[in-house]
Amino acid sequence: MATDRRAEVTWHGDLMSGSGRIDSVTSGAIGGLDVDWLARSEDAGSKTSPEELIAAAHASCFSMALSNGLAQAGHPADELKTSATVTFQAGEGITKIALTVTGKVPGMDDGAFQEAAETAKENCPVSKALAGVPDVSLTARLES
Amino acid sequence: MPRVQRSADVTWEGNVARGSGAISAATGAFDSLPYSLASRVEQPDGKTSPEELLAAAHAACYAMSLASELTGAGSPPEHLAVHATVTLGQVEDGSHRIVASELLARARVKEVDGQTLDRLAQSASEGCPFTKLIEASAQVTVNATLEGDTDGD
């Protein structure tokens, strides 16, 4: 079964001095988010950007994949905390994504957690879609 | 050009089938957005998903790229409306894969004909760094129409 998710954006004016807005998405979960080039390429202020949305997509996809892997290994997670940082070089594109995860996983040893995290990083659908990023790093830590 | 970093944080509790997560942007532009397996592969029910966030990223990236192309051609747009639809499909082995991202743009712009817009719309996709990346997994399609035209979407 295929699932579609849609987003709508409007833009006014040129790239450098113009501005846009993410008006709505399928679920209605976000909307009315302003975007512009200055916020994307220099100081974000409180504005989102494509790279921040990609960071959010990757962190959320990775977390689901890891929770699935841990449950299949017989150690469902109590809690996973993931952050993703996307590095954007204007003119070059996305050059790096750094994933860090801290997990509360009863009964699991560190080696098995590292392995499950690496598998989630390789296999989650967003990782596969972002396979062209030159450097995707992962730091995984178990919390007792 | 400066190197910029953008971050987001996610917490997840429980397993995939019944667990749930929350997604926050470092800028604060959005905070604690709930998501779950059901919201991702079934009905969204008000909740976002990784693919919806990618659709928003692609639409925003593409809108900027198209504004840049039109400006470069001497016609900065008065107004662009971009819709991006990202499709998560199930592939032969049963795993999920992002298989498509469809971009639809409507442009209100002076002194640009449909043929020129088509050309610039393709260049804009090639110039959007996210298009280049997602093509590793997904087919990206672009359709652009001039606002006021009756053909197309």
> Which tens digit of pLDDT belongs to each residue from A126-142?
999 999 999 999 999 99
Percent of chain A with pLDDT over 90: 91
Q: Would you say B40 and B51 are in contact if contact means Cβ atoms under 8 Å apart?
A: yes
Question: Could you tell me if residue B153 is inside a domain?
Answer: no
Determine phi and psi for A39, rounding to 5 degrees. Answer: -65, -30
* Statement to judge: residues B72 and B107 lie in one domain: yes
In a domain, B3, yes or no: no
Asked if residue B103 is part of any domain, the answer here is yes
Contact residues on chain A for B96, CB-CB shorter than 8 A? 125
A88:B129 CB<8 A: yes
Q: What is the mean pLDDT of the segment spanning A40-58? A: 94
- Mean pLDDT score of chain B, rounded to an integer? 92
A72 vs B38: CA distance, rounded Å = 18
- Are B54 and A54 inside 8 Å of each other by CB? yes
CA distance B57 to B52: 9
Whether the CA torsion B107, B112, B115, B118 is positive or negative: it is negative
Q: Which residues contact A49 (CB under 8 A, 6 or more apart)?
A: A35, A39, A40, A88, B6, B27, B60
At B152 the pLDDT is 44
Mean pLDDT of the region A26-53: 94
- Residue A93 three-state SS: strand
CATH superfamily to which A50-142 belongs: K homology (KH) domain (3.30.300.20)
Say whether pLDDT at B151 is over 50. no
Looking at the DSSP bridge assignments, the partners of residue A103 are: A80, A142
- The model's pTM is 0.94
Q: How far is B89 from chain A (nearest CA, A)?
A: 4
B53-60: average pLDDT = 97
Cross-chain residue pair B29–A46, CB shorter than 8 Å: yes
- The size of chain A, in residues, is 144
B37 and B60 housed in the same domain? no
* Mean pLDDT on B9-21: 90
Which stretches within chain A are classed as H helix? Answer: 37-41, 50-72, 110-123, 125-129
Residue count (chain B): 153
Q: So where are chain A's domains?
A: 7-41, 50-142
Q: Kindly state whether residues B15 and B33 are assigned to the same domain.
A: yes
- Minimum-distance CB partner of B133 among A7, A46, A94: A94
The answer, yes or no, to whether residue B153 has pLDDT greater than 80, is: no
Q: How many structural domains does chain B have? A: 2
What's the start-to-end Cα distance of chain B, in Å? 37
Please check whether residue B123 lies inside any domain of the structure: yes
d(CA B63, CA A138): 31
Task: Determine the structural domain holding residue B26 and report its residue range.
Answer: 8-41
The average pLDDT across A49-59 equals 97
Say whether both B21 and B78 belong to one domain.
Answer: no
Side-chain-side CA neighbours of residue B54 (13 Å)? 35
Same domain for B55 and B35? no
In a domain, B2, yes or no: no
- Residue A9 three-state SS: strand
Model confidence at A144: pLDDT above 80: no
Angle, to 10 degrees, between the axis of helix A110-123 and the axis of helix A50-72? 130
